[in-house]
Amino acid sequence: MGLVVQKYGGSSVADAEGIKRVARRIVDAKKAGHEVVVVVSAMGDTTDELIELAEQVSPLPAGREFDMLLTAGERISMALLAMAIKSLGHEAQSFTGSQAGVITDSVHNKARIIDVTPGRIRTALDEGNIAIVAGFQGVSQSSKDITTLGRGGSDTTAVALAAALKAEVCEIYTDVDGVFTADPRVVKKARKIDWIAYEDMLELASSGSKVLLDRCVEYARRYNIPIHVRSSFSGLPGTIVSNDNPNQPEGGEMEQAIISGVAHDTSEAKVTVVGVPDKPGEAARIFRAIANAEVNIDMVVQNVSAASTGLTDISFTLPKTEGQKAIDALGRVKEGIGFESLRYDDAIGKISLVGAGMRSNPGVTATFFEALSEAGVNIELISTSEIRISVVTRAEDVPEAVRAVHTAFGLDSESDEAVVYGGTGR
């Protein structure tokens, strides 16, 4: 049996009971013969409470100190977890990100991992210990300051350690049973996906599925580390994210489209720049202004210009939280570019269908649009990639649109309620 990296999120270790439950699960993996490395997040709402304290003492907390503050949360949970394992009669040692060799750049609050040197972890494992590592944190290569990895940082820590330690699998424990064909809160007939390819998972993640963040999937794909997303409560097998479907007979790759699921996202807004002179370089000037304001954008669509006016509209979507920045940045270049006006709309939603072989199967796009049309959902923007089709609609249409698409592609489970598949027989 090989080395397993397990990651437990804050909801799994929210209190002493949760920590003890997780400890038993870890010990089970050790008893089964694995070497076990555990990455743990801060307990429950600890991080939010620390952020609130920071806001009370300082309106704009400095990055270095903010990171020092936040990393206290994982320090608490990892020490408690190591204690709980020891009280079950097994050896465990906890390590901060710095002790675990998680080396990052110096961008506080959203540092990126540039190297992992898990010498101490390897030694602890060789001595028979279970190694517990603080998620979400590292140490900057240049200044030796403590850094945090930003959103999804603990998942990324787990995958990075799995890669550095050449783990068999990286298990991400969460409070749901795995990745579903759609959000089970919206689509009652959503099914758990037993296996999904990295690329499809990446598209789902960037299209609104919140189970895994794209950053961690990207890392796993680069180092070819299988991720197993599963529940820390149920103990059932979850979703495997990897290169090769373990349940697929070798050489059995099919040419037909394989739909992975339907994702949706209502956290974005749409900005339309109205009446842009349709000549070379205008779009570039608009998006340079956006980039200079450090605003991340998602979909971009330019309408065909009306021949009579020589003017065109450019629309893009972006996180609602970035909306004000984008409007301000564009307002400052309005005269220079000479567009007519700006429209801001935050009552939109995005529905994305993700699956392999989509582009070479024109029927997929047709079925997708037909399903939306039959559900009476109006499409405002369209964007496609090799393995994804996304549309923007009114936010209030999103649940109905997701259900319609889910049904149209035969993703519905037979039961009325979302069921959890055992992962066999497929």
Contacts of 63 (CB under 8 A, 6+ apart): 107, 108, 109
As a whole number of angstroms, the distance between CA 47 and CA 64 comes to 16
Dihedral sign for Cα 235, 239, 244, 247, please. positive
Scan for tokens 């972890």, then name that residue: 121
**CA atoms in the 13 A half-sphere facing the CB of 37:** 34
Shortest distance, position 57 Cβ to its own copies, whole Å = 4
Pick 21 or 188: Cβ nearer its own copies: 21
Pick 12 or 94: Cβ nearer its own copies: 94
* Structure token pair of residue 253: 């790759």
Burial of 64 (0-12, 13-18, 19+ CB in 10 A): middle
* Structure token pair of residue 252: 């059995």
- Would you say 255 and 246 are in contact if contact means Cβ atoms under 8 Å apart? no
Shortest distance, position 93 Cβ to its own copies, whole Å = 7
Pick 42 or 408: Cβ nearer its own copies: 42
Give the number of other CB atoms < 10 A from CB of residue 202: 23
Pick 94 or 174: Cβ nearer its own copies: 94
Shortest distance, position 50 Cβ to its own copies, whole Å = 7
Pick 75 or 110: Cβ nearer its own copies: 75
Shortest distance, position 148 Cβ to its own copies, whole Å = 12
Q: What DSSP string runs through 377-393?
A: PPP-EEEEETTEEEEEE
Binding site for its own copies (CB under 8 A): 16, 19-20, 23, 50, 53-54, 56-62, 64-66, 68-69, 71-73, 75-76, 78-84, 86-87, 92-94, 96, 99, 144, 146
Shortest distance, position 8 Cβ to its own copies, whole Å = 14
Pick 52 or 253: Cβ nearer its own copies: 52
| SS3 label, residue 238 | coil
Q: Among candidates 110, 115, 113, which has minimal Cα distance to 148?
A: 110
Shortest distance, position 153 Cβ to its own copies, whole Å = 17
| SS3 label, residue 242 | strand
- Would you say 260 and 204 are in contact if contact means Cβ atoms under 8 Å apart? yes
Pick 19 or 326: Cβ nearer its own copies: 19
Shortest distance, position 112 Cβ to its own copies, whole Å = 22
Shortest distance, position 110 Cβ to its own copies, whole Å = 17
Pick 16 or 291: Cβ nearer its own copies: 16
